[in-house]
Structure 1
Amino acid sequence: MISGTANKIFQQVIQDYHVHDQIDHPISNPYDSQTLEHLLYLKCWIDTAQWHMEDVVRNPDIDPREGLYWKRRIDRQNQERTDTVEYIDSYYLSKFKDIQPLTDAKINSESPAWAIDRLSILALKIFHMEQETLRTDVSNAHIQACTEKLNVLLEQRKDLSQSIDELLSDIESGKKYMKVYKQMKMYNDPNLNPVLYGTQK
Structure 2
Amino acid sequence: MNFTEKAWNIFNQSINDYHVHNDVYATIQNPYAESDLIEHLLYKKNWIDTVQWHLEDIIRDPEIDPIDALKLKRWIDKSNQERTDMVEYIDSWFLQQYGQVQIQEGAKINTESPAWAIDRFSILALKVYHMREEANRTDASPEHIAQCQTKLNVLLEQHQDLSTAIEELIQDLEAGRKYMKVYKQMKMYNDDELNPVLRNKK
TM > 0.5 fold call: yes
Match for 2:181 among 179, 182, 187? 179
- Give matches, 1:1-201, under 5 Å: 1-34=2-35, 35-200=37-202
Q: Root-mean-square deviation (CA), in Å? A: 0.7
Write the distance in 2 (CA, Å) between the matches of 1:45 and 1:100: 35
Pairwise CA distance, 1:140 = 0.5
Write the distance in 2 (CA, Å) between the matches of 1:64 and 1:195: 22
TM-score after normalising by structure 2: 0.97
Partner amino acid, structure 2, of 1:11: N
**Identical-residue share of aligned pairs (%):** 59
TM-score after normalising by structure 1: 0.98
Pairwise CA distance, 1:199 = 1.8
Partner amino acid, structure 2, of 1:27: I
Write the distance in 2 (CA, Å) between the matches of 1:63 and 1:152: 36
Gaps of 5+ in 1: none
Write the distance in 2 (CA, Å) between the matches of 1:151 and 1:194: 46
Pairwise CA distance, 1:195 = 1.2
Partner-residue secondary structure (3-state), 1:29: coil
Pairwise CA distance, 1:134 = 1.4
Pairwise CA distance, 1:132 = 0.4
Equivalent residues, number:
200
Q: Structure 1, residues 43-100: CA drift from partner, whole Å, max 9, x if none?
A: 0000000000001101000111110000000000111111011000000101111112
Gaps of 5+ in 2: none
